[in-house]
Structure 1
Amino acid sequence: MIYLDLSDREERERAAATFDRNIVVTAGAGTGKTTLLVDRLVHLLLRNPSPLDIKEIVALTFTNKAATEMKVRLRERLESYPNVRLDREPGSRAEKELFRELRSLMERYHLSKAEVDRRSREALHQLERSYIGTIHSFAASLLRLYPLEAGVDPQFAEDEGPRLERQFEESWQLYLDQELSLAGARKEDWKRVLRKIRLEEVRSLAFSLCSETIQLESLKTQSREDGTAKPVALWLKKNEERAAELIQRHPGKNYKIDEFAHAALAVIREFLARGELAAGVLQEERDLLAGSSPGRVKAWSEEDFEAARDLIRVAKNLCQVDGDLARLVTALLVPFAKGLRERFLQEGWISFDGLLVRARNLLRDHLHAREELKRQFQAILVDEFQDTDPLQYEILLYLAERTGRQAGYWRQVELTPGKIFVVGDPKQSIYAFRRADIEAYLEVVQEVIQAQGGLECRLTNNFRSHAGILNVVNGVFERLIHPVEGLQPPYVAIRPPESRTDTEPRETHSLPYRKVQIRRVESEAGPLDSDRARRLEAESLARWLSEEVLGRAEILNRNGEKVLAEPKDVAILLRKLTDVHQYLEPLRRRGVRYVVEGERHFYAAQEVIDAVNLLRVVENPSDRSALVGLLRSAVGGLEDTRIYELHRAGLLDCRAVRRVGNDRKRLLSPVKELYEALLELHEEARRLPVGQAVFRIFSRIPIKLLAAISFNGEQAVANLDKVRDQAELLAREGAGTLKEIIARLEGRVLEVKEESESALAEENVDAVRILSVHKAKGLEFPIVILAGCHALIEGRGDEPSAEYDWSTELAGLRLGEYLNLPAVYLGEKRRRREREEQKRVLYVAMTRAREHLTISCAKTERGAPTSFLAMLEECLGDLSACDSPGSLQAGDGTVEFLAVTENLAVPSRRRERKKEKKEPKDWTAYADLWKRRENDYQAAIQKPVFLTPTKLKKREIELSEGSEELRRQFSGSTDALLIGDLAHGFLQRWDFRDPTDTFHEKLRVFLASRLQHRPSDSRLKVASELEEIFGAFFSSAAYRELASVQILGREIPFLTPWNGQVMEGVIDLLYERDGQLYLADYKTDRIEKSDLEKSAEIYRHQIQIYSGAVQRALKREVAGFKLIFLRLGEALEVREGD
């Protein structure tokens, strides 16, 4: 791609075409990193010297969607090059850009157009065999290449989690039965453990240990070692110094916080000296720290108070360290986790974590495999490098190692110059909960790649947002994001391309909605608590969208044209979707269509609960609770009073319909049809496979129809389809009978198990998108509303678990209220990382907007100290002092501030309607429409799906007043058809370089098996006629031409769209002559030489169809079409347009 009018043009070109150094691209939001990745791939394929085969390149992305996009873009680019005509002036802007790009590549690498075309077609041919995909798919490929070395079944299946959960449930119960029985060898150890922590907490830890990311051997070694690990000791030392400095500044014990600070210092020093807190030691300090933490006092500055609060939290956690308990639990659980992993692998399953761990181990421990793979893959490209799991870093570093070197540890790897090309943006590293590690990213980039001569290229031109948004973003984050070692890189600003800067002020002035605004909602009754404030904000946003934005606000579309905002232009972003339902009801009430993307409460959706109740009743008609739920749903449509009447009459049972007396029939009438249907399905479902049974139930009971007419109809129907898919999946995984599968689904509903809602088939549905900031990463929207900015940002809960830190190689264990020492260190490290990460989450949210950004919040009783709003006030100042409407300055950008007063009164559902005189409805237009639809339908079902050129020509002749001669020619006798088939079959196998006098014997052998069931006189007649045909053809100039060309294919079948049908056919011959492409078709027609031109007209349609099919498939022009009349030995060349 040619980068014109870009301030970072040189950086982009250097990144795309530097091959002697490893490249790290820092690409800010919206800077076109996917385009750059495709540019790099093109340069690798076309460069001189040493062009790469596409199978020698590994290109890895974060998601399957991103991998598909990269592959599609590369395909489009490679397909476009052969179509460029250098002898013509390009017309459109896109054609001019492509023309310049191709010229630049040819000049840079001294390539001819023919060579570019050849390499492009070769890469296209191999594209589906390339390694462009996700890291998990690539890791799976490596394991399948070396299954013995990796210790896996070569036909293993990948598990996203459910299979491991099932195996754990089954194995854990058996393990407990053995361990806790009277004969258990370690029952005393279990008693000691269970005196301190609950069995459920042990179970949670055991499940965490089953993840292959936890290094079990390292955990066992760590539990046996005496002393404190070096990273933990250094951390404790820093905390001691900080505590000592605080006490030095506040030496007295006048306040409670002073006492806590001294106690914290004593605990930290005890751990530094002995690595533990023995029983009875510092008991007074322990008792003090066990109480509630002190509040702020005036004598302490805010900075000192925050530092003290952190130290007190550390000391409190250190008091909960129990090394003996951790060692005991490790000894009990590690054998179980190890055994479960082995059984899981033996059954042919590998978890997603296991793919990465085993691929890393394969490359690290099996040097011959590493060496072979290093030679196979000559270039490695990685997208979203900042979100990569540290295990993936190791895989990539081992593959990028110099040939012949075999480092045993990733930090010692010596890289091959020019082999690594990574693209990322540390400002968008927001996936710590998926084990993305900003510390690991910075360590690999700075201490490995750049330390070995790697080149950093920065992309700063943003193509998404206008200058008004980008100036605000830069103004905020230049003040908010400061470098913190291992946690936060320096901020790199993003700018609009220079070519757009001059037009921005004029466009913004003419479109006042193109802006950034902070919209604070205030209650008429004064500040509210956080929950009521969120409800008030939701009501206000719904009103604002319906009354002021949708259909009213003017924005620019992608083509730069003014348009009115539609629902699909709007995205509401939330930091997390926990409270999303409070935002949905006001939108639903005002008729604003929406789609929630990334909603994890699939099993809490009403239609899913109704579906599970339906399945329960069908499977067990005596399930009263499920029946009540079904009757209260849209399926039953009964009010509670009617259900109570059925209960009083003993009719809350489907089977009552078959035994009810006349005195109770009236009560049963509203549900009689439903009861009968449920009983019929009960009988049917027992005889059907699970998938068919669920399909039958959903077809018989109109649950999908009722879902479709609900407010969120598309999503509801998609969710019901997912229920069926889940049932089928459970059946395939061996979950058992319909009864067992329904029980599993019921359990998930009761637990509200996290599961994403089904993705809608129609991505372009006209609805407001509601999604989390994490889900929105990589996307853009014309209008973005960042909602709930006043809400407190809470860290991850400290549930019992095991975690492994890649940088320090430490494993932390959480056992209820107890921990091991590394867990305290890792917990504090995680808190600091999350604190910095939340700034990056805000950055990602604010850079999604193309035209308009609204930051929405509500005024609460007490402002949250950690919230998006608090971060913004840190940069913009206290909003309570700002006039409304007013403006705030953020660097070179301006933020409009607007305070809106609302109340929590729910709007009336009733709408006033003007009394209008009813006019009689004219249904004529509708009747005509349905008549046309009926006619179109009848025409469609009479038209065959598939069509051939011969059938098409026959139909045209039958409909026309064609000559009798043409009719006879196309009707053909049985013998004529047989002769044609045999002639085509023989020539398909004939080598045009063979001596022509050998055809007699080869024809005899060919016909022997094909005519053996025909009478002898018929066989002789057919053989004689074919010899006559081939005698004339093999001695002709047409034959000699075919003997001198390059044959590309014979009898090639094809399918191609044709006027609403599918045209199918077979191309007899495809060949190249003088670099041009030709098609040939054999004809066995009996015609005179003088009638050749006239006969050729008959096949005009066939020529057009065949040529068009080849051009679409091969992306090449067809130079000509040869009709070869075998009996005459004549070839008639026909060109399109002749």
Structure 2
Amino acid sequence: MNPAPHEAPSGAPAAYEHNGQRVTRAAFYAIACDPARNVAVQACAGAGKTWMLVSRMLRALLDGCAPHEILAITFTKKAAGEMRQRLHEWLGEFARQPLDALTGELRARGVHPERALEARAALQNLYRQTLASGRPVQIRTFHSWFAALLGTAPLALLQALGLPAHFELLEDDAQAVRAVWGPFLHTVVADASLRADYAAMVALHGRSQTHKALAAALAKRVEFALADAAGVVDASVPPFQEQFPDLRAYAEPAHALRDAACVQRWRALAKTLGAQTGKTPQKAAQALDAALDCADPQQRLDGLRKALFVAAQDRLTKNLEKFAPACAAEPELQGLLAARRQHAAWQHQQRMARLARCLSAQFADLKRQHGWVDMNDVERAAQAMLADPVLSGWVQERLDARVRHLLIDEFQDTNPLQWQALHAWLSGYAGAGGGATAPSVFIVGDPKQSIYRFRRAEPQVFIAAQAFVRDGLGGDLLSCEHTRRNATRVIAAVNQVMD
């Protein structure tokens, strides 16, 4: 048996909190294990997160929930197997234990003492009843559950997402990713615009860094596609004309230096600066005139900068700060340089966006040719299905498993798209007062333990989910800093040293 963690020693920091307030261990577990409550638990390593999750399953079964109406989601097959084994072992042990021992087990899981006396016989019989039901608790990985949803998807939805009706699920898309670069490069070479984009990127950043950036975009292809469809990609880096309206008439900021009036102004400034006493302003004035003699506007701008500014910074050299003509020219030159940087950033973003669209399209074509569907496709399809109020209900009916209790382990490893799918489904219940069809929600995790960034996991999603449980579902936020892996005093001593 795996007992709940004990109280922290006297004088140690509080181990348990409920909605930001310190509570006892008993109060903490009474809330965490209550299947009627919506709860988000942030718990450190070794705090007994799986213990809480499986205990909540037991409480739900005791309250009359059918096993298949409980859906527990985790991130790996190993974790799902361990959770399933823990539940199976507990049910077997409780079936063999005397009633007096079961009273303590129930009370450890937040059951009121009087209710524990009444429920211990039911707990003893729970193993037999669960086996007799013929349908076990649903303990699945995110991807296996989403894949099951995809198997029920209407043909129209598959067509809208560009997915084949008959497909092979790729749990590992590494081979497909390697295979797409050849078709992608052939497409780039055949298209003059893409070829120019690619050549510019390689010239500025090198082939290796360019491919690394494109590979990162391909890894987030679903998020990229959704953002692109919403206009976010093109709007994320505005052109310099929006930030520098005085330059909106020019295709590039340096082109302002082609205007006769602008050149005349800078010539006058150079003349005034050259009239100053001392070699420094006179030398700078000569450099300004030489820059303005350049035919290329970019070379003109570079020359003006070199004449007046510190090599590594866009500000006047210290020796020129005391000369009024140089100080008067500084803001205009700084504006031109800032606009050029903005223009370079916009060009880079536009090139990357065009190349990323091409790479994603080639990857989609490659998958269609082979009848492949990858995990990104599965997640996107799940998000589309669960976001649609009609399809969401239809999906549940087709699966014949109306979920009454949803439990998610290691929530810090959830990626934004997975959370969007869940949020789309659960937000229909937000503010509904916990109606008969609303599943109770229990999430547990610790953002500090996120280990799946390579799978697009984002710990900030946990914070968003906590806010949804609290504000959208009227639930409770729990925090547990107790761990069975180290004594509390040891942790306190380490924290003191680190501070």
TM-score range, shorter chain: 0.5 to 0.7
Post-superposition CA distance 1:910-929 (Å, at most 9, x none): xxxxxxxxxxxxxxxxxxxx
1:81 and 1:117 in contact (8 A); partners too: yes
2:405 paired residue among 379, 398, 406? 379
In 2: Cα distance, 1:286 partner to 1:97 partner: 82
1:63-212 matches, cutoff 5 A? 63-86=76-99, 97-98=104-105, 107-108=114-115, 115-116=122-123, 119-124=126-131, 129-146=136-153, 148=155, 149-150=157-158, 151-153=163-165, 155-176=167-188, 178-179=190-191, 196=204, 198-211=206-219, 212=221
1:31 and 1:463 in contact (8 A); partners too: yes
In 2: Cα distance, 1:178 partner to 1:421 partner: 52
1:175 and 1:336 in contact (8 A); partners too: no
Please say if 1:442 is aligned against 2:472.
no
1:511-522 matches, cutoff 5 A? none
Unaligned runs of 5+ in 1: 234-276, 295-314, 406-411, 477-871, 876-1138
1:158 and 1:350 in contact (8 A); partners too: yes
- Residues 345/80 of structure 1: CA separation in 2 closer, same or farther (3 Å cut): farther
1:786-935 matches, cutoff 5 A? 872=498, 875=499
- Residues 281/138 of structure 1: CA separation in 2 closer, same or farther (3 Å cut): farther
2:28 and 2:478 in contact (8 A); partners too: yes
Structure 1 residue matching 2:72: 3-state secondary structure:
strand
- Residues 164/103 of structure 1: CA separation in 2 closer, same or farther (3 Å cut): closer
User: By how many angstroms is 1:78 displaced?
Assistant: 1.5
1:596 aligned partner: none
In 2: Cα distance, 1:360 partner to 1:102 partner: 34
- Residues 339/325 of structure 1: CA separation in 2 closer, same or farther (3 Å cut): same
1:369 paired residue among 388, 391, 401? 391
- Residues 214/112 of structure 1: CA separation in 2 closer, same or farther (3 Å cut): closer
In 1: Cα distance, 2:110 partner to 2:214 partner: 62
2:31 and 2:110 in contact (8 A); partners too: no
Which amino acid in 1 is paired with 2:492? N
- Point out the structure with the larger strand share: 1
1:11 aligned partner: 28
Greater gyration radius: 1
Post-superposition CA distance 1:731-759 (Å, at most 9, x none): xxxxxxxxxxxxxxxxxxxxxxxxxxxxx
Structure 1 residue matching 2:347: 3-state secondary structure:
helix
Please say if 1:218 is aligned against 2:233.
no
Post-superposition CA distance 1:1071-1125 (Å, at most 9, x none): xxxxxxxxxxxxxxxxxxxxxxxxxxxxxxxxxxxxxxxxxxxxxxxxxxxxxxx
User: By how many angstroms is 1:22 displaced?
Assistant: 1.4
Please say if 1:46 is aligned against 2:62.
yes
1:286 and 1:319 in contact (8 A); partners too: no
Which amino acid in 2 is paired with 1:81? F
Which amino acid in 2 is paired with 1:330? A
1:1054 aligned partner: none
In 2: Cα distance, 1:458 partner to 1:206 partner: 40
Post-superposition CA distance 1:1024-1066 (Å, at most 9, x none): xxxxxxxxxxxxxxxxxxxxxxxxxxxxxxxxxxxxxxxxxxx
- Residues 414/195 of structure 1: CA separation in 2 closer, same or farther (3 Å cut): farther
1:462 paired residue among 473, 483, 490? 483
1:161 and 1:351 in contact (8 A); partners too: yes
User: By how many angstroms is 1:463 displaced?
Assistant: 1.9
User: By how many angstroms is 1:208 displaced?
Assistant: 3.4
In 1: Cα distance, 2:310 partner to 2:181 partner: 39
User: By how many angstroms is 1:369 displaced?
Assistant: 2.3
- Residues 64/320 of structure 1: CA separation in 2 closer, same or farther (3 Å cut): farther
- Residues 25/226 of structure 1: CA separation in 2 closer, same or farther (3 Å cut): closer
2:69 and 2:405 in contact (8 A); partners too: yes
Which amino acid in 1 is paired with 2:52? L
User: By how many angstroms is 1:154 displaced?
Assistant: 5.2
1:1014 aligned partner: none
Percent of aligned positions that are identical: 22
User: By how many angstroms is 1:226 displaced?
Assistant: 9.2
- Residues 283/383 of structure 1: CA separation in 2 closer, same or farther (3 Å cut): farther
- Point out the structure with the larger helix share: 2
1:701-780 matches, cutoff 5 A? none
Greater relative contact order (Cα < 8 A, sep 6+):
2
User: By how many angstroms is 1:372 displaced?
Assistant: 3.6
Which amino acid in 2 is paired with 1:34? T
- Residues 17/279 of structure 1: CA separation in 2 closer, same or farther (3 Å cut): farther
In 2: Cα distance, 1:279 partner to 1:143 partner: 59
2:419 aligned partner: 393
In 2: Cα distance, 1:36 partner to 1:369 partner: 32
User: By how many angstroms is 1:80 displaced?
Assistant: 2.2
Please say if 1:30 is aligned against 2:43.
no
Post-superposition CA distance 1:224-278 (Å, at most 9, x none): 549749xx99xxxxxxxxxxxxxxxxxxxxxxxxxxxxxxxxxxxxxxxxxxx99
Post-superposition CA distance 1:713-737 (Å, at most 9, x none): xxxxxxxxxxxxxxxxxxxxxxxxx
1:1002-1041 matches, cutoff 5 A? none
1:283-294 matches, cutoff 5 A? 284=305, 291=312
Unaligned runs of 5+ in 2: 8-23, 244-297, 316-337
How many positions carry a matched residue from both structures?
390
Which amino acid in 2 is paired with 1:455? D
In 2: Cα distance, 1:292 partner to 1:126 partner: 73
User: By how many angstroms is 1:35 displaced?
Assistant: 0.7
In 1: Cα distance, 2:59 partner to 2:480 partner: 18
- Residues 46/112 of structure 1: CA separation in 2 closer, same or farther (3 Å cut): closer
Which amino acid in 2 is paired with 1:38? V
Post-superposition CA distance 1:882-907 (Å, at most 9, x none): xxxxxxxxxxxxxxxxxxxxxxxxxx
Post-superposition CA distance 1:321-367 (Å, at most 9, x none): 43134324533551342242243145232333333233212222x43
1:79 and 1:124 in contact (8 A); partners too: no
1:57 aligned partner: 70
In 2: Cα distance, 1:226 partner to 1:101 partner: 52
1:168 and 1:207 in contact (8 A); partners too: no
- Residues 12/156 of structure 1: CA separation in 2 closer, same or farther (3 Å cut): same
- Residues 400/281 of structure 1: CA separation in 2 closer, same or farther (3 Å cut): farther
In 2: Cα distance, 1:171 partner to 1:413 partner: 50
2:374 paired residue among 351, 374, 386? 351
Structure 1 residue matching 2:222: 3-state secondary structure:
coil
When the two chains are superposed, the root-mean-square deviation of aligned CA atoms in Å is 4.4
- Residues 190/362 of structure 1: CA separation in 2 closer, same or farther (3 Å cut): same
1:25 and 1:458 in contact (8 A); partners too: yes
2:471 paired residue among 446, 451, 465? 451
In 2: Cα distance, 1:122 partner to 1:106 partner: 24
- Residues 5/173 of structure 1: CA separation in 2 closer, same or farther (3 Å cut): closer
Post-superposition CA distance 1:125-179 (Å, at most 9, x none): 6688543122222222221232633445455322323222232134234324534
- Residues 293/56 of structure 1: CA separation in 2 closer, same or farther (3 Å cut): farther
Post-superposition CA distance 1:25-73 (Å, at most 9, x none): 12123221111111101011111xxx22221122112332222211111
In 1: Cα distance, 2:485 partner to 2:193 partner: 65
Using structure 2 for the length normalisation, give the TM-score. 0.64
Using structure 1 for the length normalisation, give the TM-score. 0.30
